[in-house]
Amino acid sequence: MGGGGQLTEPGEPGTGGSGRVFTWEEVQRHSHRNDQWLVIDRKVYNVTQWAKRHPGGFRVISHYAGEDATEAFKAFHHDGKFAQKFLRPLQIGELAATEPSQDHNKNAAIVQDFHTLRAQAEDDGLFRVRPMFFCFYLGHILLLEALGWLTVWVWGTSWMLTLLCSIILATAQIQSSWLQHDFGHKSVFKTTHGNHIMQMFIMGHLKGASTNWWNHRHFQHHAKPNVFSKDPDVNMLHVFVVGAIQPVEVRNKKLRFQYIDGFQELVLAMTFYLRYFCCYLPLYGLFGTLALITFVRFLESHWFVWVTQMNHLPMDIDHEAHQDWLTMQLHATCNIEQSSFNDWFSGHLNFQIEHHLFPTMPRHNYYLVAPLVQALCEKHGIPYQVKTMRQGLADVLRSLKNSGELWLDAYLHK
């Protein structure tokens, strides 16, 4: 499903479809780590071995083991025909004619209407990219990087100028985060390779971070947002307990950390620090340079967390409910009202609903598809929340406060 790398060879040999038919009950039995089937467009696939080589990571595809993955597959793959080449050898049969297309009693009307909406968006050209938008966006990041350095190189390293430089650099860093996010979702270039190369350049050279680490976490988040054990963004037990369920359930659990190795990512990220120290070491010395980058990271991280969490943290956070794609995403996401500043400040993630429904859609088209999504939600009675920026930020604090109180009450009365 979601892919952060490149597909270089077809899937392992298989029957390519043996004419066998299966019931949903049979499919759902194959939902374990070493035994994984899934359904796409009524075709049944055995992805047990392929999951280990899945470009988006084995966890993403494993989250749909034993389920219908049709909507997720279409959402993540902008070139479905290419991806089908790798699926075809994995096909082992189809659903029996008497079986419904949806599993777990999903609403067939919602699924069909969303499929129609996606087709309309494609026909309206909403998945077409405006290249100049991303060229100017990258240009303004590079300009901010240069401006930050020139500020202290030309006018000096006083406290006020250093503070101004830090704000400029933090702005460049957060805008780089939003831009690499576009390439990570393959919403800029037509080819996976082109998107992957640009994402590696931005994450490695402009940010000093890991593309591999980000992709393998972020695709899981999109596949199952706000679902415990499947969305790493809500598995933050080493920092927070979130939602209304987790604080009660985890009071006695031991905490674990996970790491992702990536020597190649480390080497690429070092080019960022090499460039940074070459620019600022002559001006601040070693200690001052380290202090500057630490403060820039401090500003950037707060900006990033507030923007990304105000769309998710106050929403429903629970265990797997096996909902259709539209309902699942709307229960886990909300929007922040549109304005030129909000669009820029959040990297268009103020349209979090549209981004989650259509992760490969270029972000400059979110505002065009938003009215269509809102109309569909009204038709089916699904809440479509739009907040002010201030309300969104306040809701994060309110949500954490409520979760903390629930945890304390459960801990004291265990």
Residue with the bigger pLDDT between 32 and 229: it is 32
pTM of the model: 0.86
**407 pLDDT higher than 60:** no
Query: Does residue 238 share a domain with residue 253?
Result: yes
In a domain, 269, yes or no: yes
- 266 in the same domain as 191: yes
CB 209 within 8 A of CB 273: no
Same domain, 248 and 339: yes
361-368: long-range pairs with CB below 8 Å, 24+: 361/121, 361/126, 361/127, 361/187, 362/127, 362/128, 362/129, 362/130, 362/133, 362/182, 362/187, 362/188, 363/182, 363/187, 364/130, 364/133, 365/126, 365/127, 365/128, 367/338, 368/124, 368/126
191 and 271 housed in the same domain: yes
395 pLDDT exceeds 90? Answer: no
What is the mean pLDDT of the segment spanning 378-394? Answer: 94
215 occurs within a structural domain: no
How many domains is the chain built from?
3
Clarify whether residues 378 and 319 are in a common domain.
yes
Residue 318 has pLDDT above 80, yes or no: no
Q: What is the DSSP letter of 402?
A: H
- pLDDT tens digits, residue range 165-176? 999 999 999 999
Residue 110 domain flag: yes
Residues 161 and 199 in one domain: yes
Q: What is the CATH number of the domain that holds 79?
A: 3.10.120.10
Are 357 and 368 within one domain?
yes
Q: Which domain holds residue 189?
A: 131-210+260-307
Model confidence pLDDT, tens digit, residues 208-257: 988 887 888 888 888 888 787 787 766 654 454 444 444 444 544 444 43
Same domain, 42 and 69: yes
**Pair (250, 280) in one structural domain:** no
Helix, strand, coil percent values for the chain (each to nearest 5): 60, 5, 35
